[in-house]
Homo-oligomer: A and B are copies of this chain.
Amino acid sequence: MPRGPTDRTKIRRHPERASYDRKTVDAILDEALLCHVAFAVDGHPSVIPTIHVRVGDELYIHGSQASRTLRALNSGMEVCIEVTLLDGIVLARSTPKHSMNYRSVVLYGSAHPITDPTEKHEAQLALVEHILPGRAASVRPPNAAEMKETLILAIPLDEASAKIRSGPPLDPEADLTVPTWAGVLPLALTLGDPQPDARQSPDIPPPDYAHRYRRSPSV
Contacts and interface: CB of A to CB of B under 8 A. Distances in A.
Contacts of A84: 34, 36, 49
Nearest to A102: B49
A27 interface: no
Contacts of A94: 139-142, 146
A4 interface: no
Contacts of A127: 95, 98
Interface string A189-219: 1111111111110001111001001000000
Interface stretch (A16-24, A37-45, A53-61, A111-119): A37-45
A: contact size bracket: 35 or more
Interface of A: 8, 12-13, 33-34, 36-40, 43-49, 51, 63-64, 66-69, 78-82, 84, 86, 88-89, 91-96, 98, 100, 102, 104, 106, 124-125, 127-128, 131-132, 135-136, 138-142, 146, 150, 168-169, 171, 175-176, 178-200, 204-207, 210, 213
